[in-house]
Amino acid sequence: MVNILKGYESGKSTHDICRKHGITVSIYYQWEQKYGNMHAQYLKELKVLREENSRLKRMFADLILDHRI
35-45 average pLDDT score: 78
Task: Give the whole-angstrom CA distance, residue 56 versus residue 52.
Answer: 6
How much of the chain exceeds pLDDT 70, in percent? 100
Of residues 10 and 60, the one with the higher pLDDT is: 60
Q: Which residue, 28, 3, 2, 34, is CA-closest to 15? A: 28
From residue 17, alpha-carbon distances to 2, 26, 66 in Å are: 12, 12, 50
pLDDT interval class at 7 (50, 70, 90): confident
